[in-house]
Amino acid sequence: MSELKDKLLKDEYKDKEDLRNFPVVALLDITEEESKLLKELGLDTIENLSTKWSDQYAKMAKKVPKERINSWIAASRLLLVEETEKVTTGAKIIMVGIDNAGKTSLSIALKHRGALSSLFQRLNGLTPTRGLLRSKIDVFGMDVHLHELGGQSIYREDYLENPQQYFVGTDTIIYVIDIQAKDRFQESFEYLKQIINVANNLKIKVPWKIFFHKSDPEYEIDDKSAEVFNSIIEYMADKCPYFNPATDFFRTSVRIRSSILGAFSHIFRGISLIQDGVNEATESVAQGLDADFFGLYDFRSNICFARFAKEDELEDLAHNAYYDAIESIVDIREPFLRIRRYTLDDNVNEIFILRDLKFSGERYIMAMLTTDESMAKDLDQDAIQEIIEDKLQDWIEFRGYAAFPMEK
Ligand SMILES: Nc1nc2c(ncn2[C@@H]2O[C@H](COP(=O)(O)OP(=O)(O)OP(=O)(O)O)[C@@H](O)[C@H]2O)c(=O)[nH]1
Ligand SMILES: [Mg+2]
């Protein structure tokens, strides 16, 4: 607990008593100005912020970026965790798109362990989803409910006519487009417009993500298709306030595992309120380990909970290497699972190191890439574990509090 105080409070508050009545300005990452705003809204103390934030959220969001507000709420909840009831936290993600776009395939590919060939076998036998299909994944201690809306036109009508039933309480909406189905672009774009329309009418303000799916390695996008994709992104940027045209679309393919893992990990980290703190801690772990990439994967869901990469390419390389490795290690228990070497285009040798870790009884896999030969050679297991624990343990332990409480 005291370590958590160190991380979340300004120096002058670290040794004081009566945490719940601290003014919000005690939080590390908040300015005087910002704390005044919260005070005006009745969120003057840590306790009030942690319990009454939801009534004032919209007002705060008008003045301050959401990421900042989220991190204050998370910090106040984390600080009071010992006194807070164990609340259920969770998230709801909707996947939507016309039939055959690949929604069910994406959800299967995300959870699949084992060889790619056995994944393709499963996907070949898929039949169209009949209406709403729900599944639940445990991601970083939150329950993530994944809702797929089967895209055949007979089902689409119902979503558009009774949207509240499907869209209320959603944290993120993913729209999936089959980029190889040129003759269906028009239909897919129209459906997207309709869905945005009903969501906007319901005043559902959530992040939207676009998956340009079936972006297989050998598939080349022609100019005409590229034009359509650009106009979709422009349309989204215009109509959806929480769609960022620079970062919120993904090229995914079941043939490129890193593409799916990367996209979903981005989305799940976005839902987590402690994202900023985790990012900072992860960067310092990477520095401590002299790693060009460091990532911590939740073994059950495959989701990358924390990651830092010096270059984007290294992240893709590591995600792919992670998937390759877990194909063969499902049941094997060894401290060091794998060490591998990759030579990159510019003749740089990256050493990939993977190991099994446990935090609070949950299994994690750590992956890193380093060019430091001596580091890789005399790898001291305990030292590695120590560095990670020192920086990330608290974040991992409290990850279950890292999402908004579930709406009933
Ligand atoms: N080439 C290629 N084919 C894919 C990919 N992902 C899925 N498919 C194929 O696309 C077809 C349709 O996939 P589904 O996942 O059933 O599509 P869906 O969006 O769930 O369809 P509905 O349930 O009817 O809405 C299947 O035959 C998959 O094998 C991909 O990345 N590349
Ligand atoms: Mg389906």
Q: Is residue 406 scored above 70 in pLDDT?
A: no
CA-to-CA separations, 367 to 130, 274, 301, 350, in angstroms, rounded = 39, 21, 15, 12
Query: What distance in angstroms lies between residue 101's CA and the mean position of ligand 2's atoms?
Result: 8
Dist CA 258 CA 17 (whole Å): 47
Ligand 1 and 93: CB distance under 6 A? no
User: To the nearest whole number, what is the mean pLDDT of the chain?
Assistant: 86
In tens, the pLDDT along 131-184 reads 999 998 877 667 788 999 999 999 999 999 999 999 988 889 999 999 999 999
In tens, the pLDDT along 304-354 reads 888 999 998 899 899 888 888 877 665 555 666 677 888 888 888 999 988
- Top pLDDT among 322 and 395 is at 322
In the predicted model, what is the mean pLDDT of residues 392-400? 70
- Are 294 and 310 spatial neighbours (Cβ–Cβ below 8 Å)? no
Residues facing residue 173 across a β-bridge: 94, 208
Ligand 1 and 295: CB distance under 6 A? no
Which pLDDT value is given to residue 329? 64
- Are 109 and 119 spatial neighbours (Cβ–Cβ below 8 Å)? yes
- Closest atom of ligand 1 to CA, residue 123: 29
Ligand 1 and 216: CB distance under 6 A? yes
- Count of C-beta atoms within a 10 Å radius of residue 193: 12
* Lookup: tokens for 143: 């329950």
Ligand 1 and 390: CB distance under 6 A? no
pTM metric for this prediction: 0.80
Q: Is residue 89 scored above 50 in pLDDT?
A: yes
* Lookup: tokens for 97: 């798109």
Which residue in 78, 126, 89, 82 sits closest to 106, CA to CA?
A: 126
- Closest atom of ligand 1 to CA, residue 180: 1
- Closest atom of ligand 1 to CA, residue 216: 32
CATH number belonging to domain 275-401? 3.30.450.190
Ligand 1 and 90: CB distance under 6 A? no
Ligand nearest to the CA of 98: 1
Query: What distance in angstroms lies between residue 253's CA and the mean position of ligand 1's atoms?
Result: 10
- Are 91 and 271 spatial neighbours (Cβ–Cβ below 8 Å)? yes
CATH number belonging to domain 90-271? 3.40.50.300
Ligand 1 and 95: CB distance under 6 A? no
Ligand 1 and 131: CB distance under 6 A? no
Residues facing residue 249 across a β-bridge: 210
In the predicted model, what is the mean pLDDT of residues 88-116? 88
Dist CA 37 CA 392 (whole Å): 31
* Lookup: tokens for 101: 């776009």
Residue 174's Cβ-count burial label (10 Å; 0-12, 13-18, 19+) is buried
